[in-house]
Amino acid sequence: MSQGAFVKRQFGHRARLVLPYAEVLKADEQAHAARTMWNCLHAWWQMMPKGKRTLANADAAIRQARNDVDFLAVLPAQAAQAVLKTYYQAWKNCWDGRADAPNFKGRFRSVMSVDIPQGRDLQIKRVHRRWGQVNIPYLGRVRFRWTRSLPIGKHANADNRITGARLVKDHLGWHIAFRVMTLESAPSPHEGPEVGIDAGVNLPLALSDGNHIDHGRPARLQDGQADRDKWLNPDEKAKLLRLERQAAERKQHCKPGQRTSRRLHHTYDQIRGLRAKATRRHQDWQHKTTTALAQQYGTVVVEALTITNMVKSAKGTIEEPGKNVAQKSGLNRSISQEAWGRTVTMLAYKTARYGGALHKVPAPNTSLRCSACGFITPGSREDQATFICKNPDCDFEANADWNAAQNILHLYRMGHALIPAAGRAVVRRARHVKPPTAR
């Protein structure tokens, strides 16, 4: 939304909380209560007739549950309302075909989080250069790490303010993610060149101008298996392998239905810590890389990939078993680890911030078509790293990822860019319908 020469911008800022052990237990109780509230709401939704599945009835059920169950009463009322709004929005996304239907949340597989929808309840105050204080409902005043300026005090107004926050727990502990709305001057149009980007596994980002970007870590091991832990150094990989073997050995001693031992949970926590460290390193690389791309190029073109379909299992059925299941499983892990969707999301808001634009083009045949002659000939991609056109009149040979990036940019210049919606290029199509093919 623009107002003259200014534009409203919404972003999030995450900071680490410093909580005593007693406050950590209270925050854990609130997170478990929020997850239980979601599961109770989902069970209520499934039991009620369709005519009575309304927000008013769900709100009344939530209020009654908080009055009857002491465990749910530890969750603030505003946080309980946020659970209801999030659940209802999940169903709207399902009805619009943007996501699958919501389901129950598991204790160990779901992220522990508590929403604080009212920004005025936070009462943020900066203590000194490195620390700040924030008021959290049912927890009181707690400290957090101050790493960037926030619109508080005399700097806060209707256009520059904190609209809310969310408490999130990971292996490092509890963090608070502020939702910030600011009014900034609109950026001038970016005069940089156009570039097509092809996301891959062996080469993370291949650019159409040849300035390929690599994270300096091998995508595959020598035996052909995907390296899931490429963001860890050799010592950390050895430690992770030892912990995984230790966890497998201790799990053998757990009988079905028996409660998991504390030693096994401690081993799982150590494994989770190493995985989280690798994720943080990858996200740091993604942020730095996408920022550099947004500053250098005015128009960025990427493929409209349906990643969920690309990482489906190849096991098949009993009647029709799949082929090359192990190789497909390794490829799926590599695709998931590269997090292409997160890279595109970062490029979308960073290009807009620097005055550029992100466009998406249809993905089919971008890696099979020759960028020199435009024909698709069988056998051109016999080698994953090299593209050799089999057209007798062409004989074009180049890097396979660079060839795909050239095709992506060419589709945009020919007018095949998908229609952007709400400031970002997305693909809207009905569920269970094949994506359109490129001509």
Tens of pLDDT, residues 57-66: 999 998 998 8
Token pair of 430 as six digits? 């009905």
Fold type of domain 194-225+282-425: Nucleotidyltransferase; domain 5 (3.30.420)
Say what the pLDDT of residue 324 is. Answer: 65
Question: What is the identity of the amino acid at 103?
Answer: N
Whole-angstrom distance, CA of residue 162 vs CA of residue 151 = 7
**Of 237, 125, 108, 95, nearest in space to 169 by CA:** 108
pLDDT (tens digit per residue) in 122-158? 999 998 889 999 999 999 899 999 998 888 888 888 8
Cα 263 to Cα 265: distance, rounded to the nearest angstrom: 5
| Residue 420 pLDDT class (50, 70, 90 cuts) | low
DSSP state of 277: H
Query: Tell me, what's the pLDDT at 288?
Result: 92
pTM: 0.80
Contacts of 233 (CB under 8 A, 6+ apart): none
Q: Are 377 and 404 a contacting pair, CB within 8 Å?
A: no
pLDDT digits over 55-93, tens only? 889 999 989 988 888 889 999 999 999 999 999 999 999
For residues 97 and 308, the answer to whether their CB atoms sit within 8 Å is: no
Q: Which residue has the tokens 């466009």?
A: 359
* Residues 174, 22 contacting (CB under 8 angstroms): no
Torsion sign (Cα): 276, 282, 285, 286: negative
> Mean pLDDT throughout 288-296?
92
Q: Could you count the other beta carbons within 10 Å of the beta carbon of residue 122?
A: 21
Q: Rounded to whole angstroms, how far apart are CA atoms 369 and 389?
A: 8
196: its two tokens: 């097509």
d(CA 301, CA 231): 27
The whole-angstrom separation of Cα 35 and Cα 71 is: 12
Q: What does the pLDDT average to over 9-14?
A: 88
Query: Of 216, 204, 196, whose CA–CA distance to 335 is shortest?
Result: 204
Higher pLDDT, 411 or 325: 411
Structural domain boundaries of the chain?
A: 15-158, 194-225+282-425
Q: With 70 as the cut, is the pLDDT of residue 438 above it? A: no
In 3D, which of 401, 421, 208 has the Cα closest to residue 299?
208
At residue 134, φ and ψ (nearest 5 deg) are: -140, 145
Contact 427, 341 (CB under 8 A): no
pLDDT at residue 380 in the model? 80
Q: Say if strands 173-185 and 161-170 run parallel, antiparallel, or are unpaired.
A: antiparallel
**Six token digits for residue 439:** 């001509």
